[in-house]
Copies of this chain bind each other. A is one copy, B any other.
Amino acid sequence: MSKKIKTNYDVWREENMKDPEFRRLYKEEEAKFSVSQKIRRLREKLGMTQQSLAKKVKTTQSAIARIESTDYEGHSLSKLEEIAKALGAALVIDFIPTRKIKKSA
C-alpha cells in the first residue's frame, strides 16, 4: 500500500532526530521548520508527488525538488502563493516584533 521511499529530507530528519533538542522542536513546533520543509510535508500529507505538484504549478519536477531542498533559500512570494494554492492552502506571512516599539510617532 504505502510506499516508503527514503528522501534526502528523510535522511536529514533521521540524522537530526538524534539530537534531543531537535526532537523537542520537531514534536512541539512545526513552525520551526523551513518553508521548504513545510511544502514537502504538506505535499506528502496530500499524497502528492513532486511531479503531480509540478503539473499543478505548471513547472517541472526538478523545480519542485529544488524548492523543497533543505538548503534552498531563494523562494519568491509569488511562487509560494502558487504552490500554496496547488496544495489547497493559504499562505500566511507576518512580521512579529521581537523588541519593544517606541511609542513615538
Measured in the bound complex, the distance between the Cα atoms of B46 and A63 in whole Å is: 38
Look across to chain B and name the residue whose beta carbon is closest to the beta carbon of A27. Answer: B97
For this complex, into which size category does the number of interface residues on chain A fall? 35 or more
- For A12-37 the 0/1 string (1 means CB < 8 A from B) is 10000000000001100111000100
Can you give 27 contacting A-B residue pairs, CB < 8 Å? A7-B92, A11-B29, A12-B31, A25-B101, A26-B96, A31-B92, A31-B94, A38-B93, A38-B94, A38-B95, A45-B102, A46-B101, A47-B105, A74-B76, A74-B78, A75-B78, A76-B76, A76-B77, A77-B77, A80-B93, A88-B98, A90-B95, A90-B96, A91-B94, A91-B96, A92-B92, A92-B94
